[in-house]
A and B are shown apart, each in its own frame.
Chain A
Amino acid sequence: MSAISVSAAPKPVASTWQFVKDAFRRHPTAIVGAAVLILMALIAIFAPWLGTVDPQAVSPIKRLKPPSAAFWFGSDMLGRDVYSRVLYGTRVSLSIGVAVALFSTAVGLAIGLATGFIRWVDAIVMRIMDGLMSIPPVLLAIALMALTRASIGNVILAITLAEVPRVVRLVRSLVLTLREQPYVEAAVAAGTTLPRILVRHILPNTVAPLLVQATYVCASAMITEAILSFIGAGTPPNIPSWGNIMAESRSMIQIAPALLLFPGLFLSLTVLAVNLLGDGMRDALDPRLARRM
């Protein structure tokens, strides 16, 4: 064993490059997804320095210009630069996607751990989750948004609430399997306290599947945000999110289809990248399943 690993050890100089090449050979689509995501994150961070103008700057004489050197993606019905609006929109979609993924994973993990170990909590919480899961997620988010004032915080809250039940289900099923494992029984027999068992023995084993789930939640949250904004119940109209840009350009489809295509393209590309990354991580975690899914 040691002889093999010594002889196969890559030269230190080439190791990073070799690692990337290996990863690309094994999961080409996942690496492409990651690359697109990094690109989108860079766009979001550096939006003000990428040749953009104020995305809210109105210029009535330059209304509905087709894509040109001055307006790369054209201008909308108020003469705003669509390129700048789409680039700034990256910020909204990415931050909402990441925030919902983080919050729903954290909340779902906490609730899931509690239901997996405390019987009376399980009985009550799982019935509530069943009820929540009986409402189609987009409808649930719509209902919550209809009753709150439009703000990015409320959008994140509404989508998180719609996503949490599925995370709880996953964590609970993981915990129910894990707590029957001999090493957990051994820890219980040795008198280890419950919080310590959770942190030392259960938590580390939930990280990998949760990471995969979090990417899917992120993809679904970005789509839900766009849907909410598109029907007018999401991100406030003064913030350029991809859903908002498409909603505003809806009536212009016959005159200026580019107004709808560019934000749509960015949204689809980003969601695709997240999904590819998620699929790659899932395959890496469970190679047996990889052939099937």
Chain B
Amino acid sequence: MFGYLSRRVLATIPVMLLVALFVFSLLYIAPGDPAAIIAGDQATPEDVDRIRASLGLDRPFLVRFFEWLWHVLQGDLGTSIFTNLPVTHLIAQRVEPTLSLTLCTLIVSVALAVPLGVVAAARVGTWIDRCVMAFSVLGFSVPVFVLAYVLIITFSIELEWLPVQGYRPFREGAWEWLRHLILPSMALGTVYIALIARITRASMLDVLTHDYIRTAQAKGLSSNAVLTGHALKNAAVPIMTIIGIGIALLIGGAIVTETVFALPGIGRLTVDAILRRDYPVIQGVILMFSAIYVIINLAVDLSYMFFDPRIRY
């Protein structure tokens, strides 16, 4: 068991190094002079030189990369060109809205999607199943910001039930905090729910054909006990995998959702950084999101040991 654990943990190190190398070399891959592009159209040659020096573009690639990596390992993601503040500081300021949004969405989505998939599989071919599948195809097809505007127009502008935009910190009251997160979470969660429900249904249908399910039914277990105790636990590995992979959708979607609902989170920071071509910030955010993505998928991998003890090779 410790062998598997340590192998999986160690395997993430080269992946993260590659991500770091890639994020760093983006500056060099891009066509044209990155310093000139970042400086913008109205920049003087001095501005361009200043940016080139501050990005270290005047020094050799590998020297610069290891220097940068050394700083990153010490928790220093560089300094924003636009605000002159440390990138880690900018990110820390904006963590709360993004964390609130993604955690709310994650919890609600998994709590809704897994039962939906299980019911669809248990009632395969009925109208319940058809509804879940139709919802799943629709969920894949309506982009997050389109859905977000439909929700705003319906629930905020027409019905006036929920706020149009904005964020309230948790310490100013849990109810206001939650009220501002309902629509963003619904918009962000739909595609995630669609994905998880679809895989849950497929995985359950696969498991339900096995002999041990018939045995469990034959010995008189209630269908609920068979579904949750026997089938769902055995169907869990693909479901956990897709929950982990789907985090990429949540991260990409959070950037858009924060823009639509004016949430002052890391997504908003990213969009502002893109518009100002504040490259150190973009680099830092991508590296951080990728690290989170890798760590979550590592945790998912390790969870397989719980759902399927055979995996402890």
Contacts and interface: CB of A to CB of B under 8 A. Distances in A.
Contact of B256 (A137, A140, A227): A227
A253 to B, nearest CB: 6
B79 interface: no
Given A132-B22, A146-B282, A267 B275 contact: no
Contact of A139 (B14, B153, B205, B251): B251
Interface stretch (A184-192, A198-206, A271-279): A271-279
Given A147-B26, A147-B30, A139 B143 contact: no
A145 interface: yes
B274 interface: yes
A233 B256 CA distance: 12
Contacts of B286: 135, 139-140, 142-143
B22 A135 contact: yes
Contacts of B277: 146-147
A130 B143 contact: no
B275 A232 contact: yes
Interface in A236-267: 246, 250, 253-254, 257, 260-261, 264-265, 267
A127 interface: yes
Contacts, number: 160
Interface string B8-26: 0000001110110111001
A12 interface: no
B218 to A, nearest CB: 24
Interface in A163-185: none
Contacts of B273: 146
A223 B143 contact: yes
B256 to A, nearest CB: 6
Q: Which of B31, B149, B249, B251 has the most CB of A within 10 A?
A: B149
A127 B18 contact: yes
B30 A144 contact: yes
B290 A261 contact: no
B contact face: mostly helix, strand, loop, or mixed? helix
Interface residues of B, number: 61
Given A144-B26, A267-B146, A272 B32 contact: no
B145 A230 contact: yes
Interface stretch (B66-74, B88-96, B133-141, B304-312): B133-141
Interface in A128-162: 128, 130-132, 134-140, 142-149
Nearest to B149: A260
A284 interface: no
B302 interface: no
B142 interface: yes
Given A143-B286, A147-B27, A253 B143 contact: no
A59 interface: no
A253 B256 contact: no
A243 B157 CA distance: 22
B164 A136 contact: no
Contacts of A261: 149-150, 153
Given A139-B290, A268-B146, A219 B141 contact: yes
B206 A292 contact: yes
Contacts of B283: 143
Given A137-B248, A272-B138, A293-B198, 13 more contacts: A130-B15, A139-B270, A143-B26, A148-B30, A227-B255, A231-B256, A233-B271, A246-B146, A250-B260, A254-B164, A257-B157, A268-B146, A275-B141
23 contacts: A127-B14, A127-B15, A127-B18, A131-B18, A134-B19, A134-B293, A135-B293, A136-B251, A146-B273, A146-B274, A146-B279, A148-B30, A219-B140, A227-B145, A231-B255, A246-B149, A253-B164, A261-B150, A261-B153, A264-B149, A268-B142, A292-B205, A293-B198
Interface of A: 29, 127-128, 130-132, 134-140, 142-149, 219, 223, 226-227, 230-233, 246, 250, 253-254, 257, 260-261, 264-265, 267-268, 271-272, 275-276, 279, 291-293
